[in-house]
Structure 1
Amino acid sequence: MHKSFPDDFLWGVATASYQVEGATDVDGRSPSIWDTFSSTPGKVKFGHTGERSAQQYYKYKEDVRLMAELGVGSYRFSLSWPRIIPAKDGRVNQKGLDYYNRLIDELLSYGIKPNITLFHWDLPQYLEDDGGWLNRDTAYRFADYAKVCFDAFGDRVDMWATLNEPSVFTALGYGMGVHAPGKADWSLVPKVQHNLYLGHGLAVKAFRDGGYKGKIGIVQAIMTGRAATNREEDLEALDVYRDGARMYMDPLFGRGYPERLLKRHNITMDIENDDLEIISASLDYLGLNYYFEHVIKASADDPRGFTEAKTHYRRTAMGWPVVPQGLKRLLHWVNDNYSVKEIYITENGAAYNDVLAEDMESVHDEERIEYLKGHFKACAESVREGIPLKGYFLWSFIDNFEWAFGYTKRFGIVYCDYLDGRRVPKDSYYYYREVISGNEVF
């Protein structure tokens, strides 16, 4: 064993509002697009919805106590926009603010720093009814909502993220239609992305103008991949593949949208006067979510010019390959190509088919421990190699609503019995506790 991380390395856990809170129709909360989507027959496995979920709205004190016993320094969670601003008229729901105030104060009482994401996909349905993120006005409504949150919680919160995984939200929600709002039309994706990014930039501006304390950034799930071989055609295919990552990174760093990708797919961006300047507002940090990496090879048959190559990697219950070194490659690619002050791994974890042991008080999830161990080692190596990686947030603190998979996939290091809400720490919880306590990988 050896000390693998600096003393000030920030260890945390992560969740998202619709995935853990439940209480979807109490205390003034109005429906989100995920309430609508999950209640539509055939959209979510077994018709599951977020109505109950892990019940964190009611069990937050128990969850925070478990986080404290785990030893984390921070909890990354998202705010439910329709819980805070439940109607089109913009009125603020005090009961919504009260819940998050209680959660924030409970965290702080244990010395755990709140890390808040403003938008983790649960857009208010009333905004969707007016066009949602296809409507440019939603970007301005997002900035208004962000300011409400900064004013309400900014005295106690010093780490904010505007958007979670805009690339995933746009691709799955608008390109493929397998996530809310369920639109399967790839031509919509660029417009949605631009409006999301305009909202991001306006929220950052509101944060700067308001003089709030702490840091603000964005959370990305970009895919940078690796080439199947060192042949020139595969390396060129990989570079074309990476244009997908550049599409979501370049505008944030003042480079606009990548011309090669726009031309290749005949995309016209609907950009107004100062949009790109607003979007490229200075970030205090970049959050990166990493689960797996694709291996890319050239393909004359694929209109994109590339395809995914077969690999030997073990896979999680999601069918995702376990590639710890891909995390290291991602970190280096970002650091080599963009001027990033600080990087945080804001999500990393794995789903496995977890079951309660015979004693009903434990879960033996050895595969998850091995997954985490490999990724912790990749993080430690990256820190030693000069990457400005300042923290790591494990996904997820607790089993929860896994979007279109409903409750069939368990990512948590705490087992949730969805019948009674009981919490059972898994073996991975205790492993993570030991990693945190010694700042070391073993």
Structure 2
Amino acid sequence: MANFPKDFFWGAAAAAYQIEGSAPIDGKGACVWDMFSAIPGKTFEGHSGASACDHYHRYEADAAMMSELGIPNYRLSISWPRILPAGRSAINAKGVDFYDRLVDVLLAKGIQPWVTLFHWDYPYELYKLGGWLNPESPQWFAEYVQIVVEKLSDRVSRWMTINEPQCFVGLGHQTGYHAPGDRLGLKEVLQAAHHVLIAHGRAVQVIRSHARTGPTIGWAPCGAMAMPEDESSSADIEAARKAVFCFGPGNPLYSPAEPLWSVAWWSDAAVLGRYPEGELEVYGGAAPMFTEEEMRTIAQPLDFYGVNIYNGTVVRAGGDGGIERVPRAPGAPVTALKWPVTPTSLYWGPKFLNERYNLPVVVTENGLSGMDWVSLDGRVHDSQRIDFLQRYLRELDRAIGDGVDVRGYFQWSIMDNFEWSEGYKERFGLVHVDYETQKRTPKDSAYWYRDVITTNGRVLY
């Protein structure tokens, strides 16, 4: 018997830049991903989000498809430069109207919208003014958020401020692998991260003060998850907990080249109102200067902790309280994107987060890229996705059974889409998209997931 509560929020997710199409029509402004994708060699075969899934024109059919697949909750994001082409000042009425219509269509189909306010498509015009390095960036974000909230909050009550800051700051501003493609020093990267956190707090304040219906507010970070090798060993469990929250030398999950995968750096600030002392010591003079007022702004009360979990690392206790990475077995399963398949990350991740931050957890993304194509019979037989999701959801169910407060789960993603630097070669969707014809073909997993939702998880066993 499954442990999912009767009011559990089942859903699927997508993001504006990945599905809408970013062509500059109806007044839409450019974002940093438009800039980045135009640079040769930055994305797979030069792919961009210019057309994507053409959701901007096909949103009504897509909402009807979601309804037919039994999706009761849909996590979407708003494109900041579609609302404000220059990132601030002049409002694009056609952009606002698009999301106004989209919300109405979703609600008419019995689908509740969960709105993410920033999912990586930072306005290009603001980037030219310094982007997240500019201390004015939190105010720019707050002004944009107020426009969206005043327009949609009579019908939207569930909000997320930002998605995966670890990625768009770390990969976008330090390694250059994602847009905007910068390779900044640690001091500058941490300063941008600090501004992102202030922007998150300012957004929460704006939602609370301007929402016309009582809001439920969270955010959607990711991070380095760890699981104990021996679940009966208190030492291994503590090693896994330390691996998640104590980033720095001695932690096998830590890399000096990519230090921003820390969970605690972001979440201790956003939830507990402080940066972790250990990491302040590790970062030393590169750590941002901040005031108590800024930390109070960052640590606004949240209603849930959203988290994107795809995989994790198995660790064990080492000598003298250390942490050791457990090597993966040769030939251990991986996804098409070569990410490890680690179902217990959906048990231990929510458990550790719920214990540390004392907030209900919503899994805002989970899924895999698969080798999916339309078979000769006209269907997409993605049995590996079904097996993957079944394994992960059983672990999430186990966590709930053990008392972890998990309120919802959003599969990533509702349809195949633009997978950032990987272009269109990675397919994460429950629905296959032919990008030349824009034909949607629900995969076997879409119908299986409908049964999971209908039975509230009972079909998992």
Q: TM-score, normalised by structure 2?
A: 0.90
For residues 177 and 59 of structure 1, what CA distance do their matches in structure 2 show?
A: 33
- SS of 1:265's equivalent in the other structure is helix
Query: Partner of 1:239 in structure 2?
Result: 242
| 1:397 pairs with one of 414, 422, 430 | 414
What is the CA-CA distance between 1:277 and the residue it aligns to?
0.3
What is the CA-CA distance between 1:298 and the residue it aligns to?
9.0
Query: Partner of 2:307 in structure 1?
Result: 288
Contact 1:174–1:183 under 8 Å retained in 2: yes
- SS of 1:399's equivalent in the other structure is coil
Contact 1:254–1:276 under 8 Å retained in 2: no
Are 2:72 and 1:73 aligned?
A: yes
1:78-124 CA distance string (max 9 Å, x none): 00000000125511111001111111110000111011000000000
Query: Partner of 2:159 in structure 1?
Result: 160
User: Mean Cα displacement is larger for which, 392-401 or 221-230?
Assistant: 221-230
Letter aligned with residue 239 of structure 1: K
Contact 1:11–1:72 under 8 Å retained in 2: yes
Query: Partner of 1:195 in structure 2?
Result: 195
What is the CA-CA distance between 1:268 and the residue it aligns to?
2.1
| 2:368 pairs with one of 335, 350, 367 | 350
User: Mean Cα displacement is larger for which, 238-247 or 203-212?
Assistant: 238-247
Letter aligned with residue 401 of structure 2: R
- SS of 2:161's equivalent in the other structure is strand
- SS of 2:23's equivalent in the other structure is coil
User: Mean Cα displacement is larger for which, 186-195 or 344-353?
Assistant: 186-195
What is the CA-CA distance between 1:239 and the residue it aligns to?
2.2
CA change 1:279–1:231 in 2 (3 A) is closer
Identical aligned residues as a percent: 37
- SS of 1:77's equivalent in the other structure is strand
CA change 1:211–1:233 in 2 (3 A) is closer
Contact 1:344–1:390 under 8 Å retained in 2: yes
Query: Partner of 1:253 in structure 2?
Result: 271
Contact 2:88–2:144 under 8 Å retained in 1: no
CA change 1:210–1:231 in 2 (3 A) is closer
1:225-259 CA distance string (max 9 Å, x none): 13568798996697256332111110112341111
- SS of 2:410's equivalent in the other structure is strand
For residues 381 and 299 of structure 1, what CA distance do their matches in structure 2 show?
A: 27
Query: Partner of 1:210 in structure 2?
Result: 210
Contact 2:415–2:432 under 8 Å retained in 1: yes
CA change 1:307–1:131 in 2 (3 A) is farther
For residues 270 and 131 of structure 1, what CA distance do their matches in structure 2 show?
A: 18
- SS of 1:423's equivalent in the other structure is strand
Query: Partner of 2:139 in structure 1?
Result: 140
- Report how many residues are paired: 435
Contact 1:29–1:83 under 8 Å retained in 2: yes
What is the CA-CA distance between 1:210 and the residue it aligns to?
2.0
- SS of 1:324's equivalent in the other structure is coil
Letter aligned with residue 222 of structure 1: G
Query: Partner of 1:321 in structure 2?
Result: 340
For residues 75 and 240 of structure 2, what CA distance do their matches in structure 1 show?
A: 36
Query: Partner of 2:435 in structure 1?
Result: 418
> Where in structure 2 are there 5+ consecutive unaligned residues?
248-261
1:308-355 CA distance string (max 9 Å, x none): 543133100111111111111011101111121x22111000001111
For residues 189 and 116 of structure 1, what CA distance do their matches in structure 2 show?
A: 27
For residues 375 and 3 of structure 2, what CA distance do their matches in structure 1 show?
A: 32
What is the CA-CA distance between 1:205 and the residue it aligns to?
0.8
What is the CA-CA distance between 1:3 and the residue it aligns to?
4.5
Letter aligned with residue 115 of structure 1: W
- SS of 2:129's equivalent in the other structure is coil
CA change 1:118–1:307 in 2 (3 A) is farther
Matches within 5 A, 1:268-283: 268-283=287-302
Matches within 5 A, 1:12-411: 12-87=11-86, 90-187=89-186, 188-213=188-213, 214-226=215-227, 239=242, 242=245, 243=247, 244-266=262-284, 267-296=286-315, 309-312=326-329, 313-340=332-359, 342-359=360-377, 361-411=378-428
CA change 1:89–1:192 in 2 (3 A) is closer
- SS of 1:114's equivalent in the other structure is strand
Contact 1:20–1:55 under 8 Å retained in 2: yes
Letter aligned with residue 242 of structure 2: D
1:147-203 CA distance string (max 9 Å, x none): 000001000101000000111221111121100111123513211111011011111
For residues 431 and 232 of structure 1, what CA distance do their matches in structure 2 show?
A: 38
Alpha-carbon RMSD across the aligned residues, in angstroms, is 2.2
Contact 2:235–2:316 under 8 Å retained in 1: no
User: Mean Cα displacement is larger for which, 312-321 or 414-423?
Assistant: 312-321
Letter aligned with residue 381 of structure 1: R
CA change 1:251–1:212 in 2 (3 A) is farther
Letter aligned with residue 220 of structure 1: P
